[in-house]
Amino acid sequence: MVSKHPDTGIPNVGVYRHEVKGKDKLGCMVNPANHGAYIARRSAELGKTMEVAIFIGHHPAVVLGAMTRGDINLNELEIMGGLLGEPLEVVRGETVDLPVPAHAEVVIEGVIDPRNMVTDGPFAEYLGYYGEGNKPCYLIDVTAITMRRDAIYHDLDPAHREHVLSCVLGLESGAYDAVKRVVPTVQAVHIFPSASSFVFAGVCIRKRVPGEGVLAGMMAIGDPAIKGALVVDEDIDIFNEQEALWAAGTRVVADQDIHTMPRILGAHLDPTTYDETRLKRGPMLTKVVIDATKPVGLPFSTRITPPKDLWESMKLADYVK
């Protein structure tokens, strides 16, 4: 969904959900922590409506670009062009003053009055649960629908891994940049797909200073979508979940290496979220950093590893007849 900030005019693109409400009505559910919600709230403060254009079906790089995490002044349309390797071709909407990808299969234009809220749901959520109904959402008054001849409607299963594959690149790169600002020796950030695809991050650092592990984890969970972080040393392949869990199981002293942070704005569709009273569901959750790095300058058990030259010289065919 394309919109633009009422103060700067900078376009914003995000992936949200839209429940059909009527012949010319669509719901628009945006996580309160996402930029689309900040734009809606600012528009409401100014007493303005919010023009939107939903485009369906395009190059995968365009979808990945839409999920880029960055400053609210970041223009995701430019990120899409970077991923494509050429400028993204856009056209002006038929009824809204917004740039729309020219080669999209379907475009739905409309207007939101952000001062008026409705509800949507229940839905099959990305976390693997049926979400509650009556989630607050905005309402789009549809003003135009355009499409290519013989348009292809791009759909996906909303409650399985394909739902959130597009989120991973943006989350990983955003978290990596955040960690690198304070821990320059970060080696990699990986969103574990087994943890519902983007609620838990693995962070690999070359630790040289006490406390770097926790600091790296805190920076990684700064994104509202990331609920927890597991920080490991450079000898751990963070893209191998078995190795990452081995590090957690053998290097973590639970009472000193597990750090919980309650009452943080997060992904409100998570079934463990709560409001300020902690009596009802809301937009806040408790985040966790697990520091599975070894202590600096102190002795620690040696990991069992075969000699590299021997391991690389071995050929399975020599032993299998």
| pLDDT single digits (tens) 163-195 | 777 777 788 988 999 999 999 999 999 999 887
- Give the structural domain span for 179: 161-291
Q: Are 12 and 78 in contact (CB under 8 A)?
A: no
Q: Is 193 found in the same domain as 143?
A: no
pLDDT value of residue 196: 63
**Is residue 27 packed enough to be buried (19+ CB in 10 Å), middle (13-18) or exposed (0-12)?**
buried
The CB density around residue 159, as the number of other CB atoms within 10 Å, is: 18
Q: Are 161 and 174 in contact (CB under 8 A)?
A: no
Tokens read off for 293: 């790095």
pLDDT value of residue 232: 98
Query: Residue 321 domain-assigned?
Result: no
Of 94, 139, 104, the closest CA to residue 120 belongs to: 139
Query: Residue 313 domain-assigned?
Result: no
pLDDT value of residue 136: 92
Q: Are 99 and 11 in contact (CB under 8 A)?
A: yes
Domains identified in the chain, total number? 2
Q: Which residues of the chain have pLDDT under 70?
A: 196-198
Tokens read off for 154: 């791009």
Q: Are 129 and 271 in contact (CB under 8 A)?
A: yes
- The helix/strand/coil state of 296 is coil
pLDDT in tens, 280-321: 999 999 999 999 999 999 999 999 988 889 988 999 898 887
Query: Residue 317 domain-assigned?
Result: no
Q: Is 283 found in the same domain as 193?
A: yes
Tokens read off for 158: 């909303």
pLDDT value of residue 210: 96
pLDDT value of residue 197: 59
CATH number at residue 165: 3.40.1670.10
Q: Is 134 found in the same domain as 6?
A: yes
Q: What pTM value is reported for the model?
A: 0.87
Tokens read off for 163: 């739902």
pLDDT value of residue 291: 98
From residue 39, alpha-carbon distances to 117, 122, 228 in Å are 15, 25, 27
**Is residue 212 packed enough to be buried (19+ CB in 10 Å), middle (13-18) or exposed (0-12)?**
buried
Euclidean distance between CA atoms 135 and 41, whole angstroms: 17
pLDDT value of residue 321: 74
Q: Is 179 found in the same domain as 56?
A: no
Euclidean distance between CA atoms 40 and 62, whole angstroms: 23
Domain boundary among the residues 115, 147, 179 is at: 147
Of 43, 20, 38, the closest CA to residue 116 belongs to: 43
